[in-house]
Amino acid sequence: MISLLHVDPDTTLQKALKDYFGSSGEISVTSVASAHEAYSLLRSQRFDIIIAEYRLPVTNGQAFLEALRRSRKNSTPFIFFAKKADNKAVINALNTGATHFVLKGRDPRKEFMVLKHFISQAIQQSRLAEALREQETQYRNVVEDQSEFIFRFLPDGTIVFVNEAYCTYFKKPRDVILGRNIRDSISPDYRETFFSQLEELTRENPVRSMDSRMLAADGSTLWQQWSYRAIFSDLPEPSGYQAVGRDITAQKNAEAALVQAHRNLGVMNTITRHDILNQLTAVFGYLEIAREASTDTGVSECLDKAYHAAETIRGQITFTKEYQEIGSNAAQWQSVEALVKKAVASLNLTGITVEYSLENLGVFADPLIEKVFYNLMENSLRHGKTVTKIRLSWREEPDGLVIVYEDNGVGVPEGVKEKIFRREYFQNTGLGLYLIREILSITGIRIRECGIEGEGARFEMKVPHGNYGFRTERDVLLQDG
């Protein structure tokens, strides 16, 4: 049932209005004669709607409404049912928050019918507004309780909302943050990148994740991982942005330390390899002198073994250099056709026909993949013996794409098809198939040898979904090398 407070000094009208609305059983009417009495009731009771005369004794209806809205922040629907009022009074009432303004006439029942319609309308709107306020409160509570940092800002960068976690993280009170421009919070060397990435958000693709560098209250730089969402209305341009983030400063610092440690280790390894190779040069020299001077067969055999051991050491040192480079640079999209062409141009393939049908195929792989095709061709030259043709092709399977490399040489014996990928087979074969497998595995590519001995070698490289694609005129992901 709807509870109605009627404020009017006219007792006859009070009774008529109460009888009219009370008869339906849908509205309960409480009547008082003045604003003072209404105030007393409102201290202890809540009403769904208030109907009041504009000209009340002592405190008029306009002053009553203003005080109600101001002091109690009361949003109860308020309808003026007045005997007379000029246009200025009506406008003031509506501007103050009156829902409707109805003038009394000679037929109260008709006016009561109008009031009933306005009451129903006002109650419906009030309940909808209350539901929206409750939803907003619930949403705000959820946002405020999040451990992630949440903020919203306008297209010009003005921050209009931050949650408590954001304030705590940046060690700034909310009133200091709101109204400021997000540009002031972003590390100067990152601002251009930040805003250029925001400009890429569209109605079709409104969400983007990005790592950002922002400034703390003490001026230090903090790293966060943010998910930004562009908010669109009817206009083509965003009306604002919302971001949810978490701190990744420790992760970024660890990554930077790891990069520095890797750099230091690389320098140390380079120096150590250089020193060892210098000493090996001396060892080879002394061994050559000793072999030339030796007349004893037993001693010569020992010197030959020592020379071979030194060559093995030199090969292992070369191995460490090549292995160190694997994974040191980020994987990238590369044109397989361009990689094959580069390998062909780097080798003397006189007398050998190279065929490939790659149809703009591209793969996402370590930059060292260019050495994979080079090494496969070099192995064909070095070990294939009777090779006159090399062919590369591809086929798609349910779980990915297979790149096939095959030649018509002597092939690989059945018993060593898996052994050739082991580290100990790194002997005078360029990078070695062990390193080829390591390079490909960086992005989940698997390789195996499945040729038939006597008919030629056949290597199949399985590329998983998501790590291969086909270039079109508009596709600029693949690099032509």
Residue-wise pLDDT for 131-167, tens only, equals 777 777 666 666 666 788 999 999 999 999 999 899 9
- The answer to whether residue 319 scores a pLDDT higher than 80 is no
The position carrying tokens 């051991």 is 309
Distance CA 233, CA 151 (A): 19
- pTM, whole model, 2 decimals? 0.46
Residue-wise pLDDT for 89-117, tens only, equals 899 888 888 889 988 888 888 888 889 88
pLDDT at 480: 39
Cβ pair 332, 442 in contact under 8 A? no
Tokens, residue 137: 């409160």
Residue-wise pLDDT for 33-49, tens only, equals 999 999 889 888 889 99
Provide the 8-state DSSP code for 414: G
- Alpha helices in 49-153, H assignment, sequence order: 61-71, 87-96, 108-145
Query: How far from 475 is each of 9, 463, 479, CA to CA, in Å?
Result: 80, 20, 10
Regarding predicted confidence, which is higher, 383 or 322? 383
Cβ pair 172, 192 in contact under 8 A? no
Rounded to the nearest 5°, which phi and psi values hold at 470? Answer: -125, 130
pLDDT at 72: 58
